[in-house]
Chain A
Amino acid sequence: MSDLGFDHEWRLGELLDNASLTRIGPDMAELLGGELAILDFDERLLWGALAPSARRQPVVLELEPIGFVAGEAVEPAALAAATRLLTALLRAELRFKMASTLHLEAVAEDFESLKREHARLLESEGRYRKLSEELEARVKAQVAVLEERQQMLYEAEKLASVGQLAAGMAHEINNPLGFIRSNLGTFKTYLGRLAEFGGRLAEGEAAWKALDLEFVLEDGEDLLTDTAKGIDRIARIVADLKSFSNIDRASEEFADINNCLRHAASIIETQLPPGINLKLDLLPLPGLVCLPGHLNQLFFSLMRNAVLAIQDAGRPGLVRVSSLADDDGIRIAIHDDGIGMTAEQRDKAFQPFYTTRPVGAGAGLGLATARNIVLAHSGRIDLDSTPDVGTTVSIFFPTPK
Chain B
Amino acid sequence: MAEQENNSLTFKLVYYGPAQSGKTTNLLRLHDQLSPELKGELMTMETKDDRTLFFDLLPLGFRAPSGLLIKFRVFTVPGQVAHDGTRKAVLSRADGIVFVADSDRAQETNNGESFQSMSDNCHRVGLDFANLPLVVQFNKCDLPNAVPEAEIRERWSAAPWPLVFAVALNGQGVEATFEALLRAVFRHQAERLALATTHGLDEEAFVAGALGRP
Contacts and interface: CB of A to CB of B under 8 A. Distances in A.
B86 interface: yes
Given A7-B73, A7-B75, A103-B86, A95 B59 contact: no
Contacts of B41: 91
Contacts of A95: 43, 45
Interface in B35-58: 38-41, 43, 45, 53-55, 57
Interface string A101-114: 01101110110010
B88 A106 contact: yes
Contact of A5 (B10, B61, B71, B92): B92
A62 B72 CA distance: 10
A99 B93 CA distance: 17
A9 interface: yes
B42 to A, nearest CB: 11
Contacts of A106: 83, 85-86, 88-89
A66 to B, nearest CB: 11
B205 to A, nearest CB: 19
A98 interface: yes
Nearest to B12: A7
Contacts of B40: 60-63
Q: Which label, helix, strand, loop or mixed, suits the secondary structure of the A interface?
A: helix
B75 to A, nearest CB: 7
B90 interface: yes
B69 interface: yes
Contacts of B84: 110, 113
Contacts of B43: 91, 94-95, 98
A105 B54 contact: no
Nearest to B90: A102
Interface in A241-290: none
Contacts of A64: 8, 38, 61, 69, 71
B85 A109 contact: yes
A6 interface: yes
Given A7-B12, A63-B40, A99-B54, A109 B88 contact: yes
Interface residues of B, number: 30
A1 to B, nearest CB: 12
B89 A62 contact: no
A238 B10 CA distance: 108
A40 to B, nearest CB: 13
A106 B59 CA distance: 22
Contacts of A109: 85, 88-89, 124
B71 A63 contact: yes
Nearest to B94: A7
A171 B76 CA distance: 106
B196 to A, nearest CB: 23
B54 A98 contact: yes
A31 B16 CA distance: 45
B10 to A, nearest CB: 7
B83 A7 contact: no
Interface centre among B10, B71, B75, B89 (most CB of A within 10 A): B89
Interface centre among A63, A91, A106 (most CB of B within 10 A): A63
A62 B61 CA distance: 9
Contacts of B83: 106
Given A63-B40, A63-B59, A110-B85, A99 B45 contact: yes
Interface centre among B43, B54, B83, B85 (most CB of A within 10 A): B85
Contacts of A7: 12, 57, 73, 75, 90, 93
A98 B43 CA distance: 11
Q: Which 4 A-B pairs have the closest CB atoms?
A: A106-B85, A62-B59, A110-B85, A105-B89
9 contacts: A5-B92, A62-B73, A63-B39, A102-B54, A103-B86, A105-B85, A109-B89, A113-B84, A113-B85
Interface of A: 5-7, 9, 60-64, 91, 94-95, 98-99, 102-103, 105-107, 109-110, 113
Given A98-B55, A106-B85, A106-B89, 15 more contacts: A5-B93, A6-B89, A7-B12, A61-B40, A62-B40, A62-B73, A63-B59, A63-B71, A64-B38, A91-B43, A94-B43, A102-B86, A102-B90, A106-B88, A109-B88
